[in-house]
Every structure is written in structure tokens, then in C-alpha cells.
Amino acid sequence: MQTNYLMNTEEDIAQAARLLQAGEVVAFPTETVYGLGADATNDEAVGKVFAAKGRPADNPLIMTVGDVEQIAPYVQITDQAKQLMAAFWPGSLTMILPIKEGMVSMLVTGGLQTAAIRMPENEVTRALIRQAGFPIVGPSANTSGKPSPTTAAHVKHDMAGKIAGIVDDGPTQVGVESTVIDLTAKTPTILRTGAVTQEELQKVLGVEVADATSTKSIADDQAPKAPGMKYRHYAPDKDVYVFDPLDWDDLQTKLGENDAVMADEALLKQLKNADQPSWSLGENLNQASENLFAGLRFFDDVPEIEKIYVESMPEIGLGKAYNNRLAKASGGRLFQGPESE
Ligand code: TXA
Ligand code: MG
């Protein structure tokens, strides 16, 4: 299949909308990561998304909308959903809501009686969805199991020849996927951490919000989880190790010439070997999240590189989402500092 490379011009957005209307798959930008779009009301089109990603059929998809009215026919908009929409939409929050009986394809929900909905911040994409005239499914535009794409070039790498178009609106800003909150559980429950934090959600809802991704909830296994959480994710082909910035000096003595490091600007300034392959995570948590997947993808494609060592971040705010994606990418591998030897 020939992939059309489209820009953020009116003409290109109109062409992307026509491709979606014809039942084709088009990758779109959001503020978090790039997504793979297709008409959520057309099973044949949705099937093409699963095929392009190599995604297991029991992992449900997000319905992505351009405005709030667009989702009303499909899901029950609860009072809590209204409060969260007012506070965080458009933005990096996906809500799980009860579907209106028979209104959403089983392919989209994976057979569940609930659906995930999100309105991204990106203006180009919202214009695209409004023009198309239907909600689009929007899983991240990576091959299943690989790090999510934060540039159109990443999408091209994974999807060239497999989808009809890619709309390029530059690099994404947040860099990790949206927060997923389940509003069908008795206690609203975070199924995936992201830029919208537990504290912010609690403040708006005025009730306790559970976090199913925290070790405590996983251990007691009470909360329902996003089906997607059971799959290995964000994993490059190379071995990834997480290191604590406190172990930086020790790590430096152990790096081989084929090992890459991903660390913040301040640490990289103290890198002793100027030839060590390195990737800057920037100067703060936001920049680290923005740069994480791009660095993993970059080193994955450098044949000489054997291992990738990535700095962990403080468990606050966006740091929780960053550390969660990094833990999955590394499969839990940690660099053991001198303390533990
Ligand atoms: O930031 C994002 O959310 C990106 C951009 C492109 O919008 N999209 C994205 O989609 O990350 P995806 O499909 O890769 O992740 C959606 C997550 C999966 O873990 C899936 O299992 C979960 O949401 N999910 C979808 N529908 C669900 C449902 N009805 N109940 C529970 N979890 C659901
Ligand atoms: Mg994904």
C-alpha cells in the first residue's frame, strides 16, 4: 500500500478526512503520542488498525473525538465524566464510560460493556475528526509492543506501506500516553498513569481516586485493569536498564563502548567519556517524558549498541508515568549500584 505523507495544511487535512471516510487508516498527531486513526463505526476500517499494529483483538481501542457532542450517541456521559471533561478536555485524559447498548462495535470495546473516550489537544487532529464526521479509534501508532511514536518519522518507521496516510504536525509535547481513568468502577480508578495526575483528578472530583498501577493495588488485585496492561509494552529490541541518578559515578565505571546512556542534562555534563553514546533527557520531568521514547527508538536502530541505560525520575507528577513506561521498556531490569553488590 502507498502511504501518503501529509502536512498540517487545510488541503492535507481534507485529504486525510477523505481517506478516513473511505475506510482507510491514517496516523494523526496528538499532544501525547501519535495515534492510528480509522472510522470507529466501520468494523472493516477498525480491523485494518489491528492488522497494521499487530495488536491482539482483545485489547480495546480508544474512541477519539473532535468535540464533546461527537461521543453523546455512543456512551453514557456521567456527572463525573462531565466534571472531568470541563477540567481536562481537550487534553491527556481518557475516560472509561458505560456504552449505550449496541452503539459501539465489539471490535472497538474488545467485547466489554464500556468504552474509552478521549479528546486530544491537537487542533489539526480535532479539525480532522470533525471533518471526517465520526469518532476515530486511536491506539498509539507503533507496532504492538514497541515504544509509542512521538514524531511522524517514528510512525513512518513502523507503518510505511501498511497504512494510507500520516499527518505530520511536528513532535508531540507530552511524550507519554494519556492518563486512563475508569469511571465505571465504584471508586474512580486510574488504569494508566499520564500527564493528568491522581491528585488533580481527586481535586476536581472531590472523591478518592484509586491508582491500579501502584504496587499496592496490583498486589491486592481488586481493581479492574486496562486489558492493554497485561501485554509487554514500549520495549525496544535492545536490553534496557534503569539506573538511579545516585549511582551515576558507579555506572560510568562500568559502561562499555557499545552501551548507551540516557540521562538528564546535568548528569550528561559530568560524562567522563566524551565518546560514550548518549541521549539527553533534558532539564526537567516534562522534557524527560517528551524525550524518553525517541531515545529508546534511536538507540534501538543503531546496530552497534548493545545495552541502553536510562535514568529513573522522582515518583511525582509526570514522573510516575515516565517511570511506569521505563519499567515496562526495561522489563524490570535495574542497574545495581555499589550499595547492593
Ligand atoms: O495518549 C493516548 O491515549 C494515545 C493517543 C494516540 O491518543 N492513545 C493510546 O491508545 O495510547 P492505546 O490503544 O495504545 O491505549 C489505550 C489503553 C489500552 O491500555 C487499552 O487496553 C485501554 O486503554 N482501554 C481501552 N478501552 C478500554 C476499556 N473499555 N476498558 C479498560 N481499558 C480500556
Ligand atoms: Mg499503545
Neighbours of 319 (CB within 10 A): 17
Kindly give, in sequence order, each residue whose CB lies less than 8 Å from that of residue 10, ignoring residues fewer than 6 positions away: none
CB 248 within 8 A of CB 267: yes
Which amino acid type is present at position 118?
Answer: R
Neighbours of 241 (CB within 10 A): 19
CB 92 within 8 A of CB 31: yes
Q: What is the tens place of the pLDDT at every residue in 310-324? A: 999 999 999 999 999
CA–CA separation, 179 vs 202, rounded Å?
13
CA–CA separation, 130 vs 136, rounded Å?
10
Task: Flag whether pLDDT at 221 surpasses 70.
Answer: no
Instruction: Work out the percent of the chain whose per-residue pLDDT is above 70.
Output: 93
CA–CA separation, 227 vs 178, rounded Å?
15
Testing ligand 1's pocket by substitution, the residue of 49, 92, 95, 140 carrying the most ligand atoms inside 8 A of its CB is 140
CA 321 to chain centre: 10
Which residues have CB atoms below 5 A from the ion given as ligand 2? 140
CA–CA separation, 283 vs 297, rounded Å?
20
Instruction: Work out the percent of the chain whose per-residue pLDDT is above 90.
Output: 87
Say if the ipTM goes beyond 0.85. Answer: yes
**pLDDT on residue 220:** 43
CB 139 within 8 A of CB 148: no
Q: Which atom of ligand 1 is nearest to the CA of 194?
A: 1
**pLDDT on residue 229:** 61
CA 159 to chain centre: 16
Which amino acid type is present at position 211?
Answer: D
**pLDDT on residue 33:** 98
- Residue 199, all three cell numbers: 491528585
Task: Flag whether pLDDT at 29 surpasses 70.
Answer: yes
Task: Flag whether pLDDT at 18 surpasses 90.
Answer: yes
The neighbouring-strand residues paired with 114 are 98
Nearest to 129 by CA among 47, 212, 41: 41
Q: Is 108 in the pocket of ligand 1 (CB under 6 A)?
A: no
Q: At what angle do helices 123-132 and 10-21 cross, to 10 degrees?
A: 40
Nearest to 228 by CA among 210, 242, 212: 212
Q: What is the tens place of the pLDDT at every residue in 51-104? A: 999 988 889 999 999 999 999 999 999 999 999 999 999 999 999 999 999 899
**pLDDT on residue 233:** 66
CA 151 to chain centre: 12
Which amino acid type is present at position 143?
Answer: T
Kindly give, in sequence order, each residue whose CB lies less than 8 Å from that of residue 320, ignoring residues fewer than 6 positions away: 193, 197, 213
Q: What is the tens place of the pLDDT at every residue in 244-302? A: 999 999 999 999 999 999 999 999 999 999 999 999 999 999 999 999 999 999 999 99
- Residue with more model confidence, 251 or 228: 251
Helix (H) or strand (E) holding 86: helix 79-88
Task: Flag whether pLDDT at 177 surpasses 80.
Answer: yes
**pLDDT on residue 337:** 73
Nearest to 50 by CA among 130, 129, 105: 105
Q: Is 226 in the pocket of ligand 1 (CB under 6 A)?
A: yes
Whole-model pTM? 0.94
Delimit the domains of the chain by residue range. Answer: 4-229, 239-340
- Residue with more model confidence, 215 or 336: 336
CB 119 within 8 A of CB 68: yes
CA 111 to chain centre: 22
- Residue 148, all three cell numbers: 509509542
Tell whether domain 4-229 is in CATH 3.90.870.10: yes
Question: Which of the listed CATH numbers 3.40.50.11030, 1.10.760.10, 3.40.50.300, 3.40.50.1000 matches domain 239-340?
Answer: 3.40.50.11030
Assign 193 to helix, strand or coil.
Answer: coil
Assign 44 to helix, strand or coil.
Answer: helix
Q: Is 121 in the pocket of ligand 1 (CB under 6 A)?
A: no
Which ligand lies nearest to the CA atom of residue 182 in the structure? 1
From first CA to last CA, the distance across the chain in angstroms is 53
Q: Which amino acid residue places its CA nearest to atom 13 of ligand 1?
A: 139
What angle is formed at CA 231 by the lines to CA 297 and CA 312, rounded to 5 degrees? Answer: 50
**pLDDT on residue 35:** 98
Neighbours of 301 (CB within 10 A): 11
Q: Which amino acid residue places its CA nearest to atom 33 of ligand 1?
A: 226
DSSP string for residues in 276-292: S-EEE--SSHHHHHHHH
